[in-house]
Structures are given as structure tokens and as C-alpha cells.
Structure 1
Amino acid sequence: MAFDELLEYVGKGGRFQILNAILCMLLNILSSPHDFMENFSSATPAHRCYVQLLDNLTSEANITVNLTAEALLRVSIPMDLNQKPEQCRRFRQTQWQLLNSNVSTTNNIDLETEPCLDGWIYDQSVFTSTIRTEWNLVCEYQSFKSFAQAIYMAGFLVGSPLCGFLSDRVGRKPLLLFCCLACGILGTCCAFAPMFSIYCALRFLFSACMGTVQFNSLILLLEGTSPKWHPTIITVFGLSMSMGQVLLGGLAYMFRDWHILQLVVSLPYFIFSLFFCVVSESVRWLIATGQTERALKELKRIAYINGNKDVAQSLTTEILTYKMKEELNTSEKQFKIKEIIVNPTVCRIVLCGSFLGFSGVFSSHGLMLDVQSLGDDIFLSQFLLGVVEFPSKLLTFFVIRHVGRRPSTTVSFLVAGSCIVVNIFVSKDMATLRLIIFLLVKTSLASFVMIYIAFSNELVPTTLRLTLQSIFNLTTRSAAIFSALVLATRSYFVHLPMILFGIFPIAASICVYFLPETFNLPLPDTIEDMEKRDRFRNKGTREKQRKVFLEQGHKNVL
């Protein structure tokens, strides 16, 4: 617990922390668009079957020379119920009789049709190229977009636990550098994938690395700053994710070819990997794992960058060892995965924390998949989806600074869950009221995401932080996949998805009771710190809890 006082000694909010924060926030802005990029790279343009008579006029030039394209379309492609050309069927034979205005179009259903055996013709007025037009993923293959997104999310499920496990053992910086470089390579290769299966495989590997980049950069920031700066970091981190969504709308509007869009959001990773070569390793992790010499070197570097040259020169191994005596003693113990299962305190926090993350993402992601488009302009819709999160996340900044984690999480869940259930009984004709309720739900869940980032980080110790955070991330990514599957149950019971999206947050609000309050307390470094804090879960012992931690930190300095 003495690390926060040691950080105060070398500089807790100087140039070093500011530069690290700027670098990590820019990286998060770049990473955020990838979750939603397939809204554009896999968009479905208007399309119809390829017809030789219509698209290759040389074959029957003497017949069609006096016919308009509209007339040729009428005799080649059947019309749907909205009197628009069918996208997946064509007439088996040219129906010249349809040129007669006296022939009713309602008889089209009796005419013999066939699938698009010769491919499709795509409208390129909005997108010049997407993965659907690249590999003809339309009609009977239209579900392949969902498969691609599911495979992408599966990369997080596989990569996050593995990378979290490795990060707690080899360090934050090496894995962050490796995954950042891998993202650049894999993302670039995606743009040149020769077939859909290879594209999906590359996206799977990319998401596995990108999850590590996002969480390692945040953990590196939080572990390198004092707790009082954590609300600011988390708020800016959340805003950077919204900025990434806004940026995606602008980039997709500028680059209508999916190959170019993919390259634009992938190549900058190579530049960031160069910057991370000079980023310092987490000193808190170095101390917690007993690497005193490296920790001292990094502390001197931090002090020098922050302008505290006298402090940098006066720091010695003896001073560091004396101040961090307890942490260095506990670092000799090698933590194993079985301690997460056997230790009741760790097990309860993992289960409850995972359920909180699952419930929040399950409801928010499900609603975003089900929400009606804000307009015909897909680029403007993406832009607005990012913009509307700014007020909510700015308000959450003050909540994180002044309100406890347990009450703020409970209120966010109760408001979101209740509004979702209430919205089931609101008539679709009352569009304005339904929109207001939806915005209230979106605001509550967006606030929860930021609170959860702070809460989950404060719940777990330094020695197991990335391992346990990867478990939390595993459950949230699972929730995103399950929310999409739940929407398919609407064909059996129309209100079932909304009922589930409402019940889970309400149930999670009860689960908050079984977690300790972490507001305004130092980050735990070991499992023993977690167990000590767990004895003071009740609100009435909060002041006593704080005194115990402060006295412990004071003894480490003396």
C-alpha cells in the first residue's frame, strides 16, 4: 500500500503521466472503431441478379437497342411486394409480355424464376466495395456477416484470458508492444485477404491482440498514477471510445472502399508500436513481483521526466526496499490459478464482478443491435451514436469522484432495467416517449460501463490484476455474443429479448451487495490486502477501513 506514497515522492501527475495518458488515449481512439467497422466494411448495398440481356447488350443488341434499362429490368427481374426488383431471384426466361402495360404485375408470382446463377450486380453509389460485394455474401449467404462478427468476438474470448495470464507474468509493456505490432500486421493482412475464410481467421487473431492492447494500456495508466487521478483517466478513456465511434463515421464517409478503410485504421498501429518501445514498465507490477532493480530504474526515469532530478539522484535500492518492505516480502509468493478458485474472497469477487459486467454489456449491446436506425444516412447514424455518449460520460466523471461504487452501480442498473421493462408496455405509436426512455437506458448503461472500469480495477490485487481483468473481459465479450442470439428468440415470443435485457440488470443490482466498497481507497497489491478490505464491507465501518489502510501505508514508510 506504500506505493501511492512512493509515487507522490517521484511525481504523481507530471509530464510522464500526461504523456503516457495521451499516448494510451490516442491508441484507444484508434482501437475503438474496429468493434463497429463491419457496419461499413460489411454493409449490404442494393443488388440484383446478373442478367445477360440487361448487363451484356452485345448478345442481343438488335433486339434491345430501342429498350430502356428500366424496360429490360422489368422483363428480366421479378418485383417484390414493394414493387422493387427482387434481390435474389430472376426470371428463368425473358418475359417480353411484361412490356405490355395492360399486363398486370400481380401475375409475376406465377412466372418461373431461379436464383442468381451468374452472380449479382451491386449499387456502388454509397459503397464502392464491401466484403459482401467482394465475396458475394448476399441472399443465402447473408448470414455470413453475423458469422464474421461472432468469430471476431470469439477472438476476445480466447485472447483476453491468455494475454491477461501472460501479462501478469511477463509484464504489461512487452505484451502491449507485441500485440500492438501484431494488430498492425494482422489488420493490414485483412485488407488483402484473398478469401472470406482467411479474412475471418485474421480478424479472429486481430481481436485477440486488440483486447490486450485496450486493457493493458488502461491498466498501465491506472497503475502508474495515484487513485485520485483514476476518475479522470477512466472518464477520458471512456470518452476516447466514443471519439473512436465518431471517427469511424467520418473515416467511413471518406473511404467508401473497405480495403482502404481497413488499411487506414490498421497502419497507425505500426507507429504506436514504436512509441511503446520507450514506454516504462508498470513500477507497481515490478515491485509486486520482486524486481527491485528494474523498479528503481523506472522510478528514477519517472522522477527525471517529471522534473524531480534531485529525487532521481537520491533514490537507492535500500530506500525502495525499506519503503516497500511488505510488498517485497509478499512478492516472494508465486500466485497460482487455483488460488482464485480456493480462496473464498477472490472467488466471490470474480463471480460477482463477472456477473455485473455480463449483465451490463448483455443489455446495452442487445439494445444497440435492436435499435432502429437514426436515419437513412448510415454515416450520420454512426456519428450520432458516438456523440450522444459524451454528456453521459462527462456526468459519470463527477459520479466516480464523489459517489461510492456500490450505490452508483446499483442506481445505474435499477434505472436501466426498470426502463427497459417499462418500455415493453409503451405503445409503438408513442415514438417520442419510447425514444426518451431508450436514451435514459443508454445513458444509464453508458455510465455503468465507466463505473465498472473503475470498480473492477479497484477490486482486484496488483499481482492478479490482469488475470482477473481478463476473466471479467471474457464474460463481457460472451455477453455481447449471447445478446445477439437472444434477439433470435423474438420469433417465439416477441417480448422475450426485452424481458431478459431488463431482468439481468435488476438481478445484478442485488449482486452488488456481496462486493466491498472500494471508493477512495488505495489499490490492493496482494490477496491479503483483499481479505483485509473484505472485513469492512458494511458502510458503518468505512472510516475504520480507511484508517487501517492508511496506518498500514504509514508503517511501510517509517
Structure 2
Amino acid sequence: MELDEAFRFIGSKGPLKVGWYHILLYALLVFYNCWIIGFQLMGMIFIGHVPKNYQCTPPDGFFTNDTTPVLDETTELDKCHMYEVQDGIVTQNITECLYGWDYERIIGETSIVTDFNLVCGDAIYAKIAQSVFMVGVLAGSVTSGQISDFFGRKIVLHIALVLKAVSGVIMALLWDYNALVASWFFVGVFNQAIQISSYVMMTEMFPPEIRTISTPLVSLIWGLAVSSVVPIALLFPNWRHYQIFISVICLIGVPLWWLTPESARWLISRGQIEEAEEILKKMAKFNGIKIPNSFLSDDKEIPLNEDIIEPSNKGHDGENEGEVHQQYYLLRAVTK
């Protein structure tokens, strides 16, 4: 039996001819692919957020307006310079910010910009940190597919989930800029590994006619997932709390390891036919379908249950064009 035909047979009783097992597994993989990934990718907007208004922190005993100069020919306050204070007197000497910055906070939000004062002359470092994260995403794109081809989709997906949780929590706890950027790189690597492996599993679990629906549907769900980033960021305005939250939820993959099957298509490509058959048997049992033993290596016909037989169309000569739907689900191609 060819694998796509096996999927058709196993899902012959379910909605859209895919079966409830596939639907539930698809929902889990979509959660990984859209929400887990979206929280991290779109979260960089909040993690690297630059406040609209900020001024130099004045020395003790003075207010911001006392020590902040006004830019020439404007009424805008200078964000990067201050009047120097000597012997308790504000002079007209302009210097760089000596005591840090005061940031406008609407709901108490923080970011790596406010934590490390990445403004004015150091503003480039916030962009560098975000770029390093995207370099990690690129590295994950290049390597994770090849690794999953060798070790399997399931193991790469779940290891990436655990490692992203660990590296994400470490990133949230770091107060050294260089160490934070390094950890953000690995977050990007593991984040993309989750996306690649989960998406590949989604494409490999359906026959071609269903795949044309299931894969574009991910793009629509992605929009919903991305829109949910905003309420999460409002709930956790401190970027460190936000990062810990979106990292810890990756650990949902640990208990689901035993419920998530390996890709049957990958197993067959590695010559592990019996293991693939065991997975398909579990799918069929969950969907209420009976299948014979060693069906992937057998060139045989498997009768359909009467309650799932579809009426066939009549040809011009009165003969049934779809006789196979009345009697058998003909499974001819032998898996090589």
C-alpha cells in the first residue's frame, strides 16, 4: 500500500476524509508552528522596544526640566545631552548624560533598550541584538531540516522545544549585554527548528489533496496567532516576564512526547516500515478503522466499511465509473 492511500483509508470516516487523529495532531502542530513561533518572532518588537520619550536622568535634588536643554529652533527636549551641574548649580555647559536616562512608561513596560540604556550613541546595539536573533533564525533554517532528515522530525521538534525554553529563560535572567545577545541567537536557532520540523510534519501527515488545504490554512491561523501577541505583551509589560512566559510554554511538548507520533513518511524513507505501520495502526484504531497487518508491504485490496461507501457516478454507457468506491479501496502501489 502506498502511504498516501493509507492516509486516505485511515481517514475515510472522519471530517474532510482525514480522520480525527489527524485533526487533533494537526491542531497541536499548528500551535507549535504559529503560537510558539509567533510569540517569539513578533515578541522582538516588545523586547527591543524604544520608548518614544526619554531624557537624561538629573542628579539628586534636580528635576529633568532643570538639566535638559532644548534643541535649537525647536521646542523638543534634547534626549542625549544635559546641562552640567557643578557645586549644586546648573551651568550652561552641555555634556552627555552622566546618570543614565529616564524613560516614559505607559504601563510600566521595559525592554532591552531601557535595561541597558541602548539609546543615543548606543542605539545601534539594540538593532545589533535583533539582527543576531535573526541570524540565529537563519542558522536554524539551514541546519534543522538536515538534522531532522537524519534523526527524525519528532525528536528534533521536541529537543528544540526544550532547548528554546531553556535558552529563553536564561536570556530573560541575564544582565550582561553580550551574554544576552548570545543567548538570543540560540533562541532564534531553536525557534526556527520548531517551525521547520512542525511544518514538515504537517505536510507529511496528509495525502496531496488535503495538503493543498492544510498548509495554506497555517498562514491564516498565523495571523490569529500574531494578533494574540499584543494581549500577552500587555499582560507581561516587563520584557523579562514576557520572555519567561513564552519560553516556559514550550515545555508543553515534554508530556506530549508520548502522544506525538513520528512522521510515518520519514520512517518509510529510512526503511522502517514496521514502525510506520505501528503508527498508522494507532491512527486507524483512534479513528475506528480496522486495517490488516503488514499493509504497507502488501499489494492487496482492503474493503471499505459499508457505512463509508460513497455512491459512484454513472458513465454515458450506464456503467459505474467509480466502481472502486462501491466495492473496494484499491491499494496497489507497493512501498519501496
Relative distance call for 1:89 and 1:286 in structure 2 (3 A) is: same
TM-score, scaled to structure 1: 0.50
Take 2:236 and 2:180, find their aligned partners in 1: how far apart are those partners?
A: 19
Aligned pairs for 1:498-537 within 5 A? none
Take 1:2 and 1:144, find their aligned partners in 2: how far apart are those partners?
A: 54
8 Å CA contact 2:2–2:296 kept in 1: the answer is no
Give the partner amino acid of 2:210: W
Take 1:21 and 1:321, find their aligned partners in 2: how far apart are those partners?
A: 26
Q: Which moved more, 1:134-143 or 1:37-46?
A: 37-46
Shift of 1:273: 3.1
8 Å CA contact 1:49–1:89 kept in 2: the answer is yes
Higher strand share: 2
Aligned pairs for 1:396-407 within 5 A? none
1:16 aligned to 2:56?
no
Aligned to 1:2: 2
Aligned pairs for 1:463-478 within 5 A? none
Take 2:145 and 2:36, find their aligned partners in 1: how far apart are those partners?
A: 21
8 Å CA contact 2:297–2:334 kept in 1: the answer is no
Relative distance call for 1:82 and 1:275 in structure 2 (3 A) is: farther
8 Å CA contact 1:29–1:240 kept in 2: the answer is no
Take 2:46 and 2:8, find their aligned partners in 1: how far apart are those partners?
A: 46
Take 1:120 and 1:275, find their aligned partners in 2: how far apart are those partners?
A: 46
Question: What CA deviation, in whole Å up to 9, does each residue of 1:225-281 have, x standing for no partner?
Answer: 111212321233112221222111111222211111112211110113321332111
8 Å CA contact 2:50–2:113 kept in 1: the answer is yes
Shift of 1:115: 0.5
Match of 2:70 among 79, 84, 87: 79
Aligned to 1:404: none
5+ long unaligned stretches in structure 2: 12-16, 301-330
8 Å CA contact 2:162–2:250 kept in 1: the answer is yes
Give the partner amino acid of 1:51: P
Give the partner amino acid of 2:157: L
Question: What CA deviation, in whole Å up to 9, does each residue of 1:523-551 have, x standing for no partner?
Answer: xxxxxxxxxxxxxxxxxxxxxxxxxxxxx
Aligned to 1:51: 58
8 Å CA contact 2:202–2:215 kept in 1: the answer is no
Take 1:36 and 1:191, find their aligned partners in 2: how far apart are those partners?
A: 16
SS at match of 2:262: coil
SS at match of 1:322: coil
8 Å CA contact 1:31–1:244 kept in 2: the answer is no
Question: Relative CO higher for 1 or 2, CA cutoff 8 Å, sep ≥ 6?
Answer: 2
8 Å CA contact 1:25–1:236 kept in 2: the answer is no
Give the partner amino acid of 1:289: R
Q: Percent of counterpart pairs with the same letter?
A: 24
**Count of residues in correspondence between the two structures:** 296
Match of 2:231 among 250, 261, 280: 250
Q: Which moved more, 1:14-23 or 1:79-88?
A: 79-88
Take 2:102 and 2:333, find their aligned partners in 1: how far apart are those partners?
A: 75
5+ long unaligned stretches in structure 1: 58-63, 99-107, 325-552
Give the partner amino acid of 2:276: A
Take 2:78 and 2:299, find their aligned partners in 1: how far apart are those partners?
A: 75
Aligned to 2:298: 322
Shift of 1:298: 1.0
Take 2:192 and 2:25, find their aligned partners in 1: how far apart are those partners?
A: 19
Shift of 1:5: 1.2
Aligned to 2:154: 173
Aligned to 1:463: none
Aligned pairs for 1:187-202 within 5 A? 187-202=168-183
Relative distance call for 1:19 and 1:555 in structure 2 (3 A) is: closer
Give the partner amino acid of 2:76: K
Give the partner amino acid of 2:50: T
Take 2:165 and 2:89, find their aligned partners in 1: how far apart are those partners?
A: 57
Take 1:165 and 1:97, find their aligned partners in 2: how far apart are those partners?
A: 66
Shift of 1:211: 0.8
Take 1:160 and 1:97, find their aligned partners in 2: how far apart are those partners?
A: 58
Shift of 1:128: 3.2
Aligned to 1:26: 31
Take 1:323 and 1:182, find their aligned partners in 2: how far apart are those partners?
A: 43
1:36 aligned to 2:51?
no
Aligned to 1:142: 123
Aligned to 2:205: 224
Relative distance call for 1:323 and 1:178 in structure 2 (3 A) is: farther
C-alpha RMSD over aligned residues: 2.5
Take 1:264 and 1:231, find their aligned partners in 2: how far apart are those partners?
A: 34
8 Å CA contact 2:20–2:287 kept in 1: the answer is yes
TM-score, scaled to structure 2: 0.81
Relative distance call for 1:177 and 1:259 in structure 2 (3 A) is: same
1:91 aligned to 2:96?
no
